[in-house]
Amino acid sequence: METATALLTRVGKWSSLKAWSLPIAKRSGMKKAAVAVDRKMAVIMHRLWTTGGAFRWLSSAAIEIA
């Protein structure tokens, strides 16, 4: 939960995960938003672990645009 709290409070850089979590924090509070971020990261890591896939922060469409 420490990483999610740091993402919400200390990290100034924008990310899609932070953008996703800020409305949750506004609506339900920082603690619930931190739990939601932790769960989302756990689901992503579990999916990578079970499929053996490689982590790509950006989608292929975003890479083509850049």
Domain range for 26 is 2-65
Number of domains present in the structure of the chain? 1
- What is residue 53's three-state secondary structure? coil
How far apart are alpha carbons 60 and 64 in whole angstroms? 6
- What pLDDT is stored for residue 12 in this prediction? 81
pLDDT, residue 27, reads 95
Amino acid at 19: A
Tens-of-pLDDT digits for all 66 residues of the chain?
778 888 788 888 888 888 999 999 999 999 999 999 999 989 988 988 998 887 776 655 554 554
Please give the C-alpha separations between residue 59 and each of 9, 25, 30, 35, 51, in angstroms, as whole numbers. 25, 25, 28, 24, 17
Query: Looking at residue 58, what is its pLDDT?
Result: 67
For residue 31, give both structure tokens.
């603690």
pLDDT of residue 66: 47
Query: What local confidence, expressed as pLDDT, does residue 32 receive?
Result: 93
